[in-house]
A and B are shown apart, each in its own frame.
Chain A
Amino acid sequence: MGVYLLMGMVTLILAFPFYYLATSAFKPTAELFEYPPTLFPREFTLDHFPLAFEAAPFPRMLLNTLVICSITVTGAAISNSLAAFAIARLRFPFRTLIFGCMLVTLMIPGWISLVPAYVFWRDVGRTTLNLFGVNIGVNTIGPLVIPAFLTSAYSTFLMRQYFMTIPKELEEAARIDGASYFRIYWRIFLPLSFPVLAVICLVTFMASWNDLLGPLIYLSKPENQTITVGLSYLNTQHMGVIYRGARFSAALMAAIPILTLYAFTNKYLIRGIVLGGLK
């Protein structure tokens, strides 16, 4: 019984801020300032949403974020699974060295590369080094999405651990049948590794959705910004009391897509992380 009491308390503490957010976004301004605060909204209003749209182009920002996240997730899924397959299953010179180098990058804080990375992407934008005539430098989504195609040590490591557990017999049989290594990766390893692939996609999606520093420095125009930076606009430019509800509604818009995704995928995420034993 005591266990349930404790679990109930923890659940209440963890869930209340979300409940408070979801209800406050629909309370009229007058009710938001009432004391004692109302637990259930007495009145229901949608007025805060247009007000939030005035402060920042949120629908557009949601779309931008979705585009950035989709490209990032695609890049991470392809690059990390390919690298992990090679490191886990193929024998080639320098394999261990390459894997070791990747793990070393986990130890170096990203802040050191902040200024040089901005210089780098600014210079990329200025040169003809652009991808098929498309500018990929500063003020485009290039700096935010391209690194995802260059693997991340954490995701590659997680996938490698998983690939190591897949029995060798499967690929040996496929080799005897004349399948290429790419075919083995594509037809055997990818389908079998769905749970860990899901974890990597989710973790990448969340990191990209909630990323603040990247869009903050690389994107400048409000209509190109992501939803996370959009939230900070409501803090910096619209401080009047009438914006209290608008802030809640904007926060709700930023939270709902990712909470919905989590609602459908928490099974994979939690099991995957517990299995991986790593965050």
Chain B
Amino acid sequence: MARPGSRKRSGWFGWWRSPNRREEVLTGWLFVLPAVLGFALFMYLNLRGVQLSFTDWSWISRKPPEFVGLNNYSLILRPDSDFLKGLVRTLIYVMFVPVSISIAFSIALLANQAVKGQTFFRVVCYLPAITGAGVLVIVWTYLFSVDGPVNFVLRGIGIDPPRWTTVTEWKQVALLLLIAWGAAPGMIISLAGLQAIPKDYYDAAKVDGAGSWRTLISITIPLMTPTLFFQLVLGIIGAWQTFDIIYFWATPGTGLQDANLWTASVQIYQYAFAQNRPGLGAAAAIVLGLVILVFTTVNFIAQRRWVTYDIA
């Protein structure tokens, strides 16, 4: 059955005998060597992370990590632990992911219109992804300050503005508004999905006399569900790890200092470095990883109910 020159016939080390194949195999291994080293380091660090989560030590003392069993886990999983509180707070950002995706999808529908200025519009939409959290939080702090432009507009339309920068709940709302604003770049992925929909579907809908609303509901959205699902999975994984904006917005010393805003990952950072309890940090990171794993698995199971891979 084997074609001449196929690997099956020449066996495991057959490639060594042909100079051409030998060069191919050796070049291949050489080129992927950095990737293999990177993977080995990554796996080593993750296994070490599991091991360190069962130990107790501090960065300052020279004492080696001491095995403490499940002690770290019982500390961070106590009902009143800072980490659990952080985990629950992070849930707000996780639940906000569908809102972000809806925003990105709506903007993508707009950016997909064949009008002049389309390219410019796409360039503007991607802007929030370019700028780092540090810059954005500084701008946001003053946009939402007592005498800032947002309050000016709100007063202009007769709304008494809330205290965005002093009350925890309103700080949270301002943060969610920042995340909603920052959701626009996601339209790039939705746009890729929209452009992959075959034109035939729209032509057929037109022939059947379907209006634009009907087309959106019966064709665009069902055909976009795989893209939306992809964005949901990645969005939720990312939301559980929300760190930068919270660090800038709420860590000690900031004008807006507020530990009531700390997410799970900020708490991991606090344990591991600020509080000098790396064992606790390592254990908290493992718990966060497991939570993410559970959510991703549930996502993959639930997709069967709503993701359409082909429409008849």
Contact = CB atoms under 8 A, between A and B. Distances in A.
A173 to B, nearest CB: 15
Given A111-B288, A113-B45, A258 B130 contact: yes
A213 interface: yes
B122 interface: yes
Given A212-B244, A274-B188, A278-B189, A231 B135 contact: yes
Interface stretch (B33-41, B162-170, B197-205, B217-225): B33-41
Contacts of A279: 186, 188-189, 234
Interface stretch (B74-82, B92-100, B141-149, B301-309): B141-149
18 contacts: A17-B140, A24-B142, A37-B149, A83-B31, A86-B28, A90-B31, A92-B15, A112-B49, A113-B45, A115-B282, A147-B41, A180-B23, A206-B129, A235-B138, A236-B253, A254-B132, A259-B131, A274-B191
Interface string A218-260: 0000000000100110111101000010011011001100110
B69 interface: no
A210 B133 CA distance: 7
A151 B191 CA distance: 28
Interface of B is mostly: helix
Contacts of B262: none
A204 interface: no
Interface stretch (A41-49, A95-103, A127-135, A190-198): A95-103
Given A21-B135, A98-B32, A239 B188 contact: no
Contact of A147 (B38, B126, B139): B38
A116 B184 contact: no
A236 B251 CA distance: 8
Given A11-B124, A90-B27, A277 B196 contact: yes
Contacts of A119: 48, 52, 278
B45 A117 contact: yes
A37 B148 CA distance: 6
Contact of B138 (A32, A90, A117, A247): A247
Contacts, number: 276
Interface of A: 3-4, 6-7, 10-11, 13-18, 20-21, 24, 32-37, 79, 82-83, 85-87, 90-93, 95, 98, 101-102, 105, 107-120, 147, 149-152, 156, 175, 180-182, 185, 206, 209-210, 212-213, 217, 228, 231-232, 234-237, 239, 244, 247-248, 250-251, 254-255, 258-259, 262, 266, 269-270, 273-279
B261 interface: no
With most chain B CB atoms within 10 A of its CB, the pick from A15, A117, A234 is A117
Interface residues of B, number: 94
A111 B191 CA distance: 31
Given A113-B49, A116-B52, 16 more contacts: A10-B125, A14-B181, A20-B142, A37-B149, A111-B268, A111-B288, A113-B48, A116-B44, A119-B52, A150-B37, A210-B132, A210-B244, A235-B251, A236-B252, A254-B132, A258-B131
Nearest to B129: A206
B237 interface: yes
Given A7-B110, A114-B272, A149-B34, A92 B128 contact: no
Interface in B35-93: 35-39, 41-42, 44-46, 48-50, 52
A231 B49 contact: no
Contacts of A248: 138-139, 142
B188 A82 contact: no
Contacts of B272: 114-115, 118
B297 to A, nearest CB: 11
